[in-house]
Structure 1
């Protein structure tokens, strides 16, 4: 089977976050069985300059896939059109629903050419995600349905929760298949000792409204115990970051916040394992690779109930709380800060053991292969 993949960002880029890891893991784990060709941009998120380590406009072998890095503008669109028109593939696989360049354009052309399409919306249909730039998104959804594109498209989701989001937005009869993203397999080597009386919390993600850093900072207003909060990730929205800086300036003196820059993919787990809790009240994720990486680092996670990672307290690996209750987040941070060290250490070891069991399974790989076989065989 040959699959033509479209995504806005890929290696050597890393600022695009989870989708890059999703595609990389897919190619690594499934690329021996399925032939993948990827068309992507020639620069990282927010960068004006192209990558210097790859050549634009020609197919390059990157791991288990061939990758075509295209320039912005008409020339890039023409290259995409030529590849689609050649029909040297069995499926078109889109890693976004709303990207004008890498989803809308190839979707329209693939439908004109009567090609089979799989879309991985990556959490874009969650209520939190749809609330951002909602007018444009809802108009595109209406046009998509009006043209009947939803009838012959297979949507890939990670969980039943995301399947519900897709059906709520696109229609109850849409073809939705569950195939969880292939997650991290790197684990912490040892559990770090927590600094006495100071909780070290960490946030790793793009700084944008969807990731909800501003809410995290507002939740810190009512934290009673000493706390250090380190923020890693590229600034995607500079106006939003300025709002965050204003919120940081109003925090109580026992709460210290530092922005620490951006992590490359191979630095994430090694960096996370040095902290005490992963604090990430995101507005919505279809998977949340960084959440999986935090678990692989043996970190308890404190997140919003807007992701597939649910019932965390019952599993003993963290908490998923509603975003309309900021005080609950503050209280959990205080609870962790005052937790006896022996109890905290047992929790971290439990998190790490749980993650090793979760991410060492092959079920997810088999589900992804089954998804593409299903879409390929669909009449």
Structure 2
């Protein structure tokens, strides 16, 4: 069969009548397009005639149903054949018919409804229902539903090596789960609660894990409240978690109760009731408290101390050929004349005395 023929060569692919009044020309049909149309029509006719020939249908110019009749004959077989209703009618030879399938399935087991139906012999089956009195004498092996008000109760009776063992479980609407047991004709044991979902490590029997409390204690021991440390974090960023900048600020005695318990009002009373002051470690060096050693005598714990130089003297050199003596008060006598030693010594230095250092951010643990 030929491909779809091309439309007429007008802008919209349609035929148009001419209009003498307006000077509009009609569509010009070329020999090329007519030949193409003729070829497409003949090709389609040839295809349809081939279908008729394959079905053994002769050409009848007065019939409009020959093609569909031919298709039915080819698909269903035979002259005037109806739609097949069997596998053989469609020429299928490698499938079971319904009758053959029924024959093959005859005698096969249906879906089992019991354990025994599946050949299972080592499982307890459901036996039925018992009331609260019948459970005391039940000896038939199996699983029983016990009729209790407000509880979902199950009784399991099993073979305990020649004896009959019974285990009863109860689940209350309150969420309580408990159980009891007995053997043969003995009395029931006391009710025992089944373990609920544990909420602690100990509840799961874990003895080598760290609880939240133990971790908190370890952290507190490693960095107890009141510890002051230096940090090299970026300037103007928040201090590390659990730390405050030691800048002398007044903070809440309630919010930072652990730190308040550790340092109290040692560095300031805040507003006197609800706040207290942090130590102000900005721009100063740390010095260990003397604590009666005798080096920094009279020092108050937590107090700030200004800079100072140790007491000392400066002695100018002797003048050549001039006898010199120095009194205990620091006055030096040269050739019989007295001079103030300090008046002859120059000075140097800045506004404080300090060692080489680096500026870091001092923070206090809360």
TM-score range normalised by the length of the shorter chain: under 0.3
TM-score (norm 1): 0.16
Specify which structure has the higher proportion of helix. Answer: 1
TM-score (norm 2): 0.17
